[in-house]
Structure 1
Amino acid sequence: MLNEDIEIILSKIEELESYDVEIEVDDSEIESISIHLFSREEFEEGQLGYRIDEDGNSLTGDNEGDWKENWYVIGYDELVGDPIFIDIKNKNYPVLTAIHGEGDWEPEVMYSSLYEFLEYAS
């Protein structure tokens, strides 16, 4: 399951001091988001419920609201559990999030690239 893009992404995440990071946000209600990023060992299990089900069946699709084949979960918001994921179709690897439990996926761009995200991760 670990293709070249995923290897690059996991290698960059491994360069961080911790897999638990705080990201400052421009929101009047909250100042920061606590995110747990997956280690290489957690990565495949982290795809459960998003890319695959417990039996290994794909949960991806091409319809609006479906989880896309090119999305990989790299962590989650520790407060609300929303996935933090990357779109490997775009080689900048934008970092996205979406509200879970809504019945469909409506991604929001958090950072336009993995590299921008990692600059703000502390």
Structure 2
Amino acid sequence: MDSDLADAVENLKAVFQRRKIECTFGKTDKAVVEELRKKLRIPSRYRSFLVSADPVKVETVTPVERVRLLPMAELEKAQTAVTAPSEGGGNPPADWKSSWVVIAESSLLGDPYFLDVSKPDPEGDCPVYTAMSGQDRWVPTLAASSFAQFLRIIATAMEIAQGFGDAIMDDEDEDSFREALGPKVKVIDAAALRAGHWT
């Protein structure tokens, strides 16, 4: 794992520790990750993340969102979940792209977070998007310009959330949280701020 991604992972782990929220990162055999690569087009940076820091049990806690990073063992199944009929019998939107690889989900809303592997960068990373589930179409919204930036943003959101405590929040509190998060996201990833998902 390169130093930039390793720093993002260590920062996320540190936030979980400071907030006293349980999380578990594991390691995955490189050969197992390479087998998954044959089925999913996962970029090199994300593969190195799975080898060094497989998110076995990692779910962020903020007033407005809970992002659960998917462990290696669930990745293949997650790809079919976004294209399978819902439990209520409804058909999912048919416009899911083969270049989208689900890597996380909203525990509150069920929305997927996914890499768009058709847009790789020179470091072997690619942008992370999210889209609302339960709609007629998948409309992607940029969550982060890279997976490393995504980890930084969710870690920052957890740091800010610490100041809000565990009380039930009303709409004004959620707005205050988003207002506090916005300037921090701008420093990490201005494109993600402009996309508006976090604010």
Distance 1:41 1:16, change over 3 A: closer
Structure 1 residue 49 displacement after superposition = 3.0
Larger Cα Rg: Structure 1 or Structure 2? 2
Unaligned stretches of 5+ in structure 2?
1-35, 86-91, 156-199
- Partners in 1 of 2:111 and 2:58 — Cα distance? 15
Unaligned stretches of 5+ in structure 1?
25-30
The answer for the alignment partner of 1:38 in structure 2 is 70
Higher helix share: 2
TM-score (norm 1): 0.70
RMSD: 3.0
Structure 1 residue 12 displacement after superposition = 1.7
Residue 79 of structure 2, aligned match among 38, 47, 66: 47
User: How many residues are treated as equivalent by the alignment?
Assistant: 107
The answer for the alignment partner of 1:2 in structure 2 is 37
- Partners in 2 of 1:46 and 1:67 — Cα distance? 13
Letter in 2 for 1:121: I
Aligned partners of 2:93 and 2:137 also within 8 Å: no
The answer for the alignment partner of 2:132 in structure 1 is 99
Q: Say yes or no: does 1:117 pair with 2:150.
A: yes
Residue 20 of structure 1, aligned match among 45, 58, 65: 58
- Partners in 1 of 2:77 and 2:118 — Cα distance? 21
Aligned partners of 1:94 and 1:114 also within 8 Å: yes
Aligned partners of 1:60 and 1:68 also within 8 Å: no
TM-score (norm 2): 0.45
Instruction: Look up the SS of the partner of 1:6 in the other structure.
Output: coil
| Identity of matched residues, % | 27
